[in-house]
Amino acid sequence: MESYVHLGTILRPHGTDGRVLVELYQVCSIRPGTVVRIGYSPAFCREFIVESFSTSGRRAIVRLQGIRSRPDADRLREQGVFSLTSEFAATTQVPDDPTGWRIITTDGEMLGYATGIEENPAHPLLSIERSDGSRFLLPMVSNFIVGRDETAGVLVVDPPEGLLETAARKVTTRKRDR
């Protein structure tokens, strides 16, 4: 018998094009093309193919094949999202408390240390302190936080273009204002 993982619950439509906002029970990633079941249990549900799945902390915005309007998405409200255990890929890339972890880029550049997590309506933000004492915030999304080494206490990040330059300009401006 096939085993299913309950990934989360659909909260509401996201926009007008049929995407849905899912509250995840655990941080995870589902590849496009994966078949998921949506309903009140794996036994009482419909199958859909995932077209896109983007996470932000414990929430995901999901596009499903065949769901193209807000009313279609609204009919899925409060239903569970289930995946075959074999298709499930936990990505737990950010620990519950990353304070003190080293933050490095995919190129190996040391950015600084994590000083905590700040809540934000769109997604949590990782607070990073640089060696010069400046701080900046990095959105905690799977596109930007790409790996971790729990033993070494290291998060590997791929910050969006311009974020580091913007953070550096703020430090320079502050120094001149003093």
What tens digit of pLDDT does each residue of 47-89 get? 999 999 887 667 889 999 999 999 999 999 999 999 887 676 5
pLDDT (0 to 100) of residue 155: 85
The confidence band for 96, taking pLDDT boundaries of 50, 70 and 90, is low
- The letter for the amino acid at 167 is A
Residue 97 phi/psi, 5° resolution? -130, 95
Read off the pLDDT of each residue in 2-13 and give the average, rounded to a whole number.
90
pLDDT (0 to 100) of residue 97: 75
Give the three-state DSSP class for 31.
coil
pLDDT (0 to 100) of residue 47: 96
d(CA 27, CA 8) in angstroms, rounded, equals 10
Q: What is the pTM of this model?
A: 0.54
Taken in order of first residue, the domains within the chain and their CATH numbers are 4-90 (2.40.30.60), 102-177 (2.30.30.240)
